[in-house]
């Protein structure tokens, strides 16, 4: 990915020279913990950008999400995601594309749940690199935690709009730059350098989507996946990652019970994290006009 020193999201782009704030942020993948990247905030639209270029093929080869499995916690989270989609209009007969599906866990979950017309696409996962699925139109296009990874979010939204039929749904889940800090102390896990190239503010996302005739129907401004089951909230997991050194790898490894028990904060969030969702996420359901 090329370097970014000028905002490519808004009509009056800010630059790194007049950034609202900026800070060196450590890569939170264990293999690359010695790498730091400059994250800066556009003074106009409040979005965040990763300044330096990066060989993302190299970084994704060691990406912990490759170890994602359709286990019990994931099924619980996806169950809540599915309820939101059903409320928005998803039917069992809907043709669904999950763009940026990773190893395909959500595709598998939908198929398990009785949806027969579901496909996935992911440029970095060989099993889901068949571009023929991008030649079709879909009733529902989902894309969770993807737009922040792409070099040009505007082109990305244009593509998703074309993949959805007129009147179809496009669902975007992404970090919300309005609630993320880049200055001093521990960096927010959602900054995820260098994977997150552009983290959009809510206004930037809605403005870019409107240019592609995507009308926002519903916005969730915190995680939509949290559960009351102990230890299964994003607040617990983000705090656990911080307490174990800030590397996201631990999210895909067995929980260290001794670490939890030694931390009053973690014990508290084990049982009550659901009621304290971190605000740095948003899920927006759009309809293509």
Sign of CA dihedral 44, 45, 47, 49: negative
Residues 276/164, Cβ–Cβ less than 8 Å: no
In the chain, where does the domain assigned CATH 3.40.50.150 lie?
A: 64-227+274-288
Under the banding of pLDDT at 50, 70 and 90, the label for residue 138 is very high
What is residue 222's predicted lDDT score, i.e. its pLDDT?
A: 72
CA–CA separation, 221 and 198 (whole Å): 18
Tokens 């209009």 correspond to what residue? 89
pLDDT tens for residues 18-76? 998 999 999 999 999 999 999 999 999 999 999 999 888 889 888 888 888 899 989 99
β-pairing, 22-26 vs 36-41, is antiparallel
In which order are the strands placed within the sheet that holds 22-26? Answer: 22-26, 36-41, 48-50, 198-199
Sorting pLDDT into bands at 50, 70 and 90, what band is 182? confident
How far is 42 from 200, CA to CA, in rounded Å? 10
Least confident segment among 59-63, 158-162, 198-202, 270-274: 59-63
Mean pLDDT taken over the chain: 93
The model's pLDDT over 82-128, given as tens digits with 9 standing for 90+, comes to: 999 999 999 999 999 999 999 999 999 999 999 999 999 999 889 99
**Does position 7 have pLDDT exceeding 90, yes or no?**
yes
Q: What pLDDT is recorded for position 69? A: 86
Please give the Cα distance from 164 to 140 (Å, whole number).
7
Query: What is the pLDDT averaged over residues 218-230?
Result: 83
What pLDDT was estimated at residue 1? Answer: 52
Class of domain 64-227+274-288: alpha beta
As a whole number of angstroms, the distance between CA 284 and CA 6 comes to 26
The answer, yes or no, to whether residue 249 has pLDDT greater than 60, is yes
Structure-block tokens of residue 103:
């190893």
Bridge partners (DSSP) listed for residue 215: 287
CA dist., res. 154 & res. 133, Å (int): 21
Q: What is the pLDDT of residue 61?
A: 86
Among left, alpha and beta (phi > 0; psi -120 to 50; other), residue 173 is beta
């Amino acid at each position: 990915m090329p370097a970014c020193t000028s905002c490519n999201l808004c009509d009056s782009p800010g630059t790194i020279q007049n950034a609202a704030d900026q800070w060196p942020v450590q890569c939170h993948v264990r293999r690359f913990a010695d790498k730091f990247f400059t994250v800066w905030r556009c003074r106009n639209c409040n979005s965040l950008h990763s300044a330096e270029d990066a060989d993302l093929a190299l970084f994704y080869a060691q990406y912990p999400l490759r170890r994602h499995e359709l286990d019990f916690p994931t099924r619980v989270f996806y169950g809540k995601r599915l309820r939101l989609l059903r409320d928005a209009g998803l039917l069992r007969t809907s043709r669904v594309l999950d763009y940026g599906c990773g190893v395909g866990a959500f595709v598998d979950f939908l198929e398990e749940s009785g949806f027969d017309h579901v496909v996935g696409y992911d440029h970095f996962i060989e099993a889901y690199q068949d571009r023929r699925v991008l030649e079709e139109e879909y009733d529902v296009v989902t894309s969770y935690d993807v737009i922040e990874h792409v070099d040009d979010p505007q082109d990305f939204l244009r593509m998703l709009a074309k993949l959805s039929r007129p009147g179809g749904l496009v669902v975007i889940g992404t970090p919300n730059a309005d609630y993320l800090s880049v200055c001093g102390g521990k960096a927010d896990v959602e900054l995820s350098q260098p994977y997150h190239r552009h983290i959009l503010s809510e206004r930037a996302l809605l403005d870019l989507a409107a240019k592609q005739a995507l009308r926002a129907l519903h916005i969730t401004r915190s995680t939509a996946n949290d559960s009351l089951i102990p230890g299964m909230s994003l607040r617990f997991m983000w705090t656990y990652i911080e307490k174990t050194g800030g590397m996201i790898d631990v999210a895909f490894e067995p929980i260290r019970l001794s670490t939890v028990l030694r931390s009053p904060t973690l014990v508290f969030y084990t049982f009550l994290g659901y009621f304290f969702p971190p605000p740095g996420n948003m899920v927006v359901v759009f309809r293509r006009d």
